Chain A
Amino acid sequence: MDYILFIATLVAIYSILTITMNILVGYIGILYLAHPAVYGVGAYTFAILAKGGTNYFLALLAAGAVATILGLIIAMPTLKLKSHYIGMSTLGFLIICHGLFINLKGITRGALGIPGIPRPTIFGETLNTNLSFFIFTIIITTVIGIILHRILHSPFSKTMEIIREDETAAKTLGKNIIKYKLQAFMITSFFGGIGGGLLASLLGYISPTNFNIDELVLILTMVIIGGMASFWGSIVGATIIILIPEALKFLDIAPALIGPLRYGIYGMLIILFMIYKPNGILGRRTNVFSK
C-alpha cells in the first residue's frame, strides 16, 4: 500500500513534467529536448535551498524561478533556428547541464548527489509518510494542473497551435511569434522547475543520473504515446510509462535485466507510435518531427 502511494505520487509529478514538455513540443511545435536539464536545475535549486533551511514553499518557487532563467537561455538560439537544428541545440543544452551537474561539485556534490532532501512541514508536522506526502503532492499538482488546463484551453493556446501549424501564416495574421515562444518557454520551465523540486522532495536524494538523456527518453515517450498537444494525454502517457517497470517486476525477469529492458520498451513504444499512431492516445496530428 505504501509503495502504491509512492508510485501514485511519482505519476502526479511526472504528469506535470510531461504536460510542461508538451507545451513546447506539442502545442507550439518547438523540438525542445532539454527538459531534464530545466527541471533538474529546479530540483537542485530546491534541494540546496530546502536543505539549507529555506521555507519549503519559497524553495519550490525559487526552483521555478531559476528553471525559468535557464529556460529563457535555452530559448534564445531556438528563436533563430529551424526544426531539427532546434533539436540539436536543445539537446546540446541538456548535455552541457548534465555535465555541470557532475562537475560543479561545490554546488551539486557531483556524482555523489544530494541526500537528505526534506519533506514539507505543515502545522509542525513533517510529512514523512508516503500517505501524507501523496496528499500534499496531489494538492499542489492539482493546483498547477488547473492553471495549465486553463491556459491550454484558452485562445492563447489556439495561437500557440497555429504557430506550430504554420508560423509564416501566423506572422502575417499579426501574431508576435517571439513573444508567444518566450511565454511558452516560461510556462514550461517555471512549472517544470517546481515539478523538479517536488521530485527531489519525493526521492529525498538526487544525483546527475536523474537528469540525463535516459530521462529525456522517458519524458518524450510519455509525451508521444499520450499524444501531442493534449493535456489529458500527457497524464495518461505519464501513468502508463511509470507503471511499465512496475509491471515488469511481476514478471519472472532477472532484476539486472529490468533496467535495460525498460529503455528498450520505451524506445520500441516511441517507434511503434510514430509509425502506427503518431497522434498518440489522445493527441493531435502534428508536423513537429517532420517539418
Chain B
Amino acid sequence: MTNILEIQGISKTFGGVHAVEQCSFSVKKNSITGLIGPNGAGKTTMFNLISGLLKSTEGSIHFKDQDITNFTAYKRARRGLARSYQAIRVFPEMTALDNIVVAFGNNKEGLFQAFTPFRRHQRRLECKAMKLLELVGLEEKAHLKAYELSYGQKKLLEILRAKANNAELILLDEPTAGINPTLIKKITTLIRQFQKEGHTILIVEHNMPFIMDLCETIIVMDRGHNIAEGKPKDIQSNKEVLEAYLGKSHA
C-alpha cells in the first residue's frame, strides 16, 4: 500500500515553545490511522500544520506524492484534504443543510456563475447533503440553523462537512470528546463507511477504546516528538508510550 501523506522532520515553535519538534510519520492510503498523546503533545498543532493553517519552521509535507509544504490552506483543501476541529467550527447562522452544501467542491460558487442557471444544480447538491444527514439521523434537523443543534450534532455536522468537501484524507480532531455513547457509535460506523468509500482518515483521540477498536495503525506523540508507531495492541504494551502517559516512575 502507498502512503497518501508523508511528514518529514517537521517542527513548529511558538516563541520558545516547541509545540512540534522533528516529527516524521506517514499515513497509508485508505487506512484509519490514530494520532494519540497526552494533552499538549502537539497533536492539534500537527493538524494545523497538515491543513496549512500554520506554517512549519522546518521539514516537509507530501500529500498524494506532491510537496505541499508551501501550499496555502485552501489549495491543500482543493487537493483533497479536509478536517474537523477540536473546538467546533460549524457556520452557526447557516442551516445544517447549507453547512454541507457549501462544502461541495463544485457548487457553482463563482461570481459570474451567479448569472448561469444554478438552481437545479443546487437542488441536486441539497439532495446529496440530505443523504449525508440521513446517514446519522439528522435529516429532521436539516433546516435548523447550526447554532440550534446540540454539541454532539454539531460535531457530526462537521464530520459530514469534511466528507462533503470531496476529501481523500479526512483529519478528525477529537471527534468523540464530550459526546454520548450512542453518538460515538454513529461516528464509528460513519468512519468505517468513509473508509469503504475510499477515504483515508487520520484521527486524534483520547478515547482509547474507540481508537484501539477503529485504527489499524497508531502514532504516538509526546512533547512534540513522535515516540512510537504500531498496531493498537503493540502500542498498548509499548514502554515509552506508557511512560509518556503515566510518567517514568510508573512504567
Mask: chain A, 141-184; 1 = CB below 8 Å from B; 0 = not: 00000000011001111110110011011011111110000010
A284 CB-CB contact with B under 8 Å = yes
Give the interface SS of chain B, mostly helix, strand, loop or mixed.
Answer: loop
B98 CB-CB contact with A under 8 Å = yes
With A166-B91, A171-B53: A154-B118 Cβ-Cβ less than 8 Å:
yes
B122 CB-CB contact with A under 8 Å = yes
Q: What separation, in Å, do the CA atoms of A150 and B102 have in the docked complex? A: 18
Interfacial chain A residues near B107, Cβ < 8 Å = 155
Mask: chain B, 105-144; 1 = CB below 8 Å from A; 0 = not: 1011111011100100010000000000000000000000
Ranked 7 nearest A-B pairs via Cβ: A174-B77, A154-B114, A155-B109, A169-B89, A165-B91, A174-B78, A171-B73
Q: Are A176 and B74 in contact (CB under 8 A)?
A: yes
Residues of B at the A interface (CB closer than 8 Å) are: 51-53, 72-78, 82-83, 85, 89-94, 98, 101-103, 105, 107-111, 113-115, 118, 122, 161, 165
Beyond the given pairs A155-B102, A173-B165, 10 more chain A to chain B contacts, judged by CB atoms under 8 angstroms and listed by A's residue number, are A150-B115, A156-B109, A166-B91, A169-B85, A171-B74, A172-B51, A173-B103, A174-B78, A174-B105, A187-B111
Q: What separation, in Å, do the CA atoms of A173 and B115 have in the docked complex? A: 23
Number of A residues, CB within 8 Å of B = 26
- Closest Cβ of chain B to A159, distance in Å, is 5
A285 CB-CB contact with B under 8 Å = yes
Q: Are B77 and A171 in contact (CB under 8 A)?
A: yes
- Closest Cβ of chain A to B247, distance in Å, is 35
Q: Are A161 and B118 in contact (CB under 8 A)?
A: no
Q: What separation, in Å, do the CA atoms of A154 and B122 have in the docked complex? A: 9
Segment 263-283 of A: residues with Cβ below 8 Å from B:
none
Q: What separation, in Å, do the CA atoms of A172 and B105 have in the docked complex? A: 12
Residues of A at the B interface (CB closer than 8 Å) are: 150-151, 154-159, 161-162, 165-166, 168-169, 171-177, 183, 187, 284-286
Interfacial chain A residues near B165, Cβ < 8 Å = 173-174
Interfacial chain B residues near A183, Cβ < 8 Å = 111
Q: What separation, in Å, do the CA atoms of A284 and B82 have in the docked complex? A: 28
- B74, B92, B161: most-surrounded residue (chain A CB, <10 A): B74
Q: Are B77 and A172 in contact (CB under 8 A)?
A: yes
Q: Are A158 and B102 in contact (CB under 8 A)?
A: yes
Q: Are B74 and A158 in contact (CB under 8 A)?
A: no
- Closest Cβ of chain B to A165, distance in Å, is 4
Q: What separation, in Å, do the CA atoms of A168 and B77 have in the docked complex? A: 12
A–B Cβ pairs within 8 angstroms, 22 of them: A151-B114, A154-B113, A155-B102, A155-B107, A155-B118, A156-B113, A158-B101, A161-B93, A166-B89, A169-B85, A171-B52, A171-B53, A171-B72, A171-B73, A171-B77, A172-B51, A172-B73, A172-B74, A172-B77, A172-B83, A174-B165, A176-B74
